[in-house]
Each structure stands twice: as structure tokens, then as C-alpha cells.
């Protein structure tokens, strides 16, 4: 299991969200806490019976100007273990919203479109290289599907 960074309000799900679509977000600040290559960081809790429709990553501060520093976004808990299922090879040296290094709105990968969580899980970031400077925001569009029986 990875490092849990979901504490402090990243889940943003309350009783009022039942049956609603909402955006959950969290920030990874590697300038405050360095991360090592292959670290798995739990960023957003996804409750049982919720569906993730899309994920976006925005780089607010570059890792460096050297190039080649990337991260993946996926899940390492149920319903699957596709560590780059939401976003593959986010370029940490390009400011703004990214899709595998290209500026633009991220479209969820084919393997995870959309992803239903029959049990609680997390959306995770995997550091591909050592990270010590970048600041990234991660956003997920999630729907509460608890009106569907997920026993």
C-alpha cells in the first residue's frame, strides 16, 4: 500500500453528495516532502459504489528543466491495479493541465473509462523518478452510484 495523502479533506464526500456528481481534488507538493522513484501516493479516496469519470493533473511548479521527469496516475487498490490507468507519463516540466506530456484536457485512458469502484479504493500517483521540486494538483470527476446495488 502507498503513502496515504488523502487526509485533510481530499475526499470531499458528504451526505449531500449522494446521487450527485462532484469533483475531488488534492495537491502533491514535492518541494515540501521529497518523493522517491516508484513511490505510490494515495491521493483521492473513492468510496464504495462511486464511479470515476475522469482525472486531470495540473502541474503548478515544474520539477526541473532537465526533462524526463514524469508520474503516472491510476489505482493500486480495488477495483484494479492499473497504476497508469488514468494518466500515463505526465510531464512534470510542462506547466498546466497535462495528458501524458501534451497540454490539454486529460481524457481518461481506454482501460479505465469510466471506472466503477464496487469497494472503496483510491486514486494514486506513482513517482517514476525521484521528485523534489514539483507541485501538482489532481482532480477527479466522481459520481455517487449508491442507488445501484453494489452488495
pTM of the predicted structure, to 2 decimals: 0.78
> What residues make up the domain containing 121?
19-144
Of 13 and 144, the one with more pLDDT: 144
Per DSSP, the three-state class of 26 is strand
For residue 150, tell me if it sits in a domain: no
For residue 76, tell me if it sits in a domain: yes
CA-angle at 80, arms to 30 and 130, nearest 5°? 20
For residue 151, tell me if it sits in a domain: no
For residue 72, tell me if it sits in a domain: yes
How does pLDDT run across 4-56, given as a tens digit for each residue?
Answer: 555 544 444 444 445 688 999 999 999 999 999 999 999 999 999 898 888 88
Q: β-strand 121-127 against 70-74: which pairing, if any?
A: antiparallel
Number of domains in the chain: 1
CATH number at residue 89: 2.60.120
Amino acid at each position: 500500500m502507498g503513502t496515504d495523502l488523502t487526509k485533510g479533506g481530499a475526499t470531499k464526500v458528504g451526505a449531500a453528495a449522494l446521487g450527485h456528481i462532484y469533483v475531488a481534488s488534492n495537491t502533491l507538493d514535492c518541494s515540501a516532502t521529497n518523493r522517491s522513484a516508484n513511490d505510490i501516493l494515495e491521493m483521492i479516496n473513492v468510496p464504495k459504489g462511486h464511479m470515476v469519470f475522469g482525472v486531470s493533473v495540473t502541474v503548478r511548479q515544474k520539477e526541473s528543466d532537465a526533462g524526463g521527469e514524469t508520474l503516472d496516475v491510476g489505482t493500486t487498490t480495488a477495483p484494479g491495479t492499473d497504476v497508469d490507468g488514468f494518466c500515463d507519463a505526465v510531464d512534470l516540466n510542462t506547466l498546466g493541465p497535462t495528458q501524458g506530456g501534451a497540454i490539454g484536457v486529460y481524457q481518461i485512458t481506454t482501460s479505465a473509462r469510466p471506472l466503477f469502484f464496487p469497494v472503496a479504493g483510491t486514486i494514486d500517483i506513482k513517482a517514476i523518478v525521484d521528485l523534489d521540486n514539483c507541485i501538482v494538483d489532481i482532480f477527479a470527476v466522481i459520481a455517487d452510484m449508491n442507488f445501484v446495488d453494489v452488495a
